[in-house]
Copies of this chain bind each other. A is one copy, B any other.
Amino acid sequence: MFTTILEHKPLIHHLTNTVTINDCANVTLAVGASPVMAEDIREVEEMVRLAQALVLNIGTIDADMQAAQRLAAGEAGRLNVPIVLDPVGAGATTLRTAFSKELIDLGCTVIKGNTSEIKTLLGEDGRTKGVDAAGDAMMDRESIRAFARKHKSVLVVTGPNDYITDGTREMELHVGTPRLGDITGTGCMTASLIASFLGAGYTAFEAAVHGTFVMGKAGEQAVSAQGLGDFKRELFNAISLMTEQELVEVTERVN
């Protein structure tokens, strides 16, 4: 657990999918924050008013959850409760792409997705810059920065190296292991970690960097586990045993 998070014990309100909801609750506890999941439209705004950060994850989205996320995002916007969006599966279906864009337009503090999801979200903005832009990695990064500036969001693009930008500052983190993709939920949990740092008062950019770093570093510490049962166990061990001091290592993992 991290003392800064533990001191604030921020309440992290999750509107999330049913696949990894238990892991998200546990990872939030593991770093010293307090998770709550409330998804009925009649109570979702009331819960946002108690929360220090809000996670919106569209992994098993349906009409009820959409209605709840719209209300929660609106209330969070009014109260300056920071929002972390995990646009799970954007690009895979029309519903997910459209709803991710709708939530982004409502205002998200941090948007965390894998390369494919973020590419989908950049889609239109990118196209306006001409087709040839797509082939160039450096230009691609400029698209991401432009998107971040336009939406006043911090973008986290996870991958072999994680790229984080607020449109002005940027950071490439060299941390993690491909094995994090061998179990479900490590992406969702990263959103919970970012939200936990946000809820404890870190800036959006710092929270994005630290949350992403914690998952990557824990993955490295768990990597020697042979089977997936042990890998998941060691991953939770590593996250819960990580200390404030280990966070300074972030600076050594930057390109």
Contacts and interface: CB of A to CB of B under 8 A. Distances in A.
Given A46-B93, A93-B43, A26 B241 contact: no
Given A63-B40, A93-B43, A30 B232 contact: no
Given A19-B25, A47-B92, A47-B93, A35 B184 contact: yes
A224 interface: no
A102 interface: no
A254 interface: no
Interface in A1-45: 17-23, 25-26, 29-30, 35-40, 42-43
Interface string A232-251: 11111111110000000000
Nearest to A59: B37
For chain A, what secondary structure do more than half of its interface residues adopt (helix, strand, loop), or is it mixed? helix
A184 B33 CA distance: 12
**How many copies of the shown chain assemble into the complex?**
3
Contacts of A20: 22, 25
A62 interface: yes
24 contacts: A17-B37, A19-B21, A19-B22, A20-B22, A25-B184, A25-B185, A26-B183, A26-B228, A26-B232, A29-B184, A30-B182, A37-B59, A38-B60, A38-B93, A42-B95, A43-B94, A50-B92, A227-B241, A228-B236, A228-B237, A228-B239, A229-B233, A229-B234, A229-B235
Interface of A: 17-23, 25-26, 29-30, 35-40, 42-43, 46-47, 50, 59-64, 89, 92-96, 181-185, 226-230, 232-241
